[in-house]
Amino acid sequence: MSESTQNIADLRKSYERAELNEEASHADPLQQFDQWLKEAIAAEVPEPNAMTLATVAANGRPSTRVVLVKGYDERGIVWYTNYDSRKGQELAANPFAALQFHWVELERVVRIEGVVEKVSTEESDAYFHSRPLDSRIGAWASPQSQVISGRSVLVANAAKYGAKFLLQPPRPPHWGGYRLKPDNWQFWQGRKSRLHDRLRYTPQDGGSWLRERLAP
């Protein structure tokens, strides 16, 4: 084993910032998520809205990438992307996914699983037109997940679509939103001696949630 590998193996962190218990947590996981996300924003952690999205291809091979949450309510968690990308193709073949938020500075993780569907055309249009102009042009310029010969392809595409659409690029037909409807939430709070707090929420009949503590 190399010296650098040994050093990595020796890395340790003691988690002592906060706790998560059944009495103080919300009965509704969406409210718990809302509280934690707002606390992450208030704490000015880097990109508090960044989440890892995990999908699985038709052949059973998983993949992950980081995307940004753009909305959430009782219907689910929303993000936007290119429908022709690898994640779009995998969601078309297998419409289940997992999300993970990791707020390192707060020693917190939120994991969310569920079924995914596209948001409405109206929602995608509204969000697309709220984006900066460069981002709207970028949605046209990038053939996401496809092999390209170099960065010059993206620059040339951006120039082409910028000249074509000027200040009013329409939403590309291959670009829009997804919504994950959660059926499993987990909230993890780091604790001392690796005895972390971990609560899981699963849906019950009547719209309530079962809240259970899991061993870390």
Q: Which residues are catalytic?
A: 194
DSSP 197: E
Cα–Cα distance between 115 and 210 in angstroms, integer? 19
Residue owning tokens 């050093």: 7
SS3 state at 195: coil
Cα–Cα distance between 195 and 102 in angstroms, integer? 18
User: What's the token pair of residue 191?
Assistant: 């604790």
State the alpha helices, DSSP H only, in 77-150.
86-93, 121-130, 133-141
DSSP 172: P
Cα–Cα distance between 175 and 52 in angstroms, integer? 19
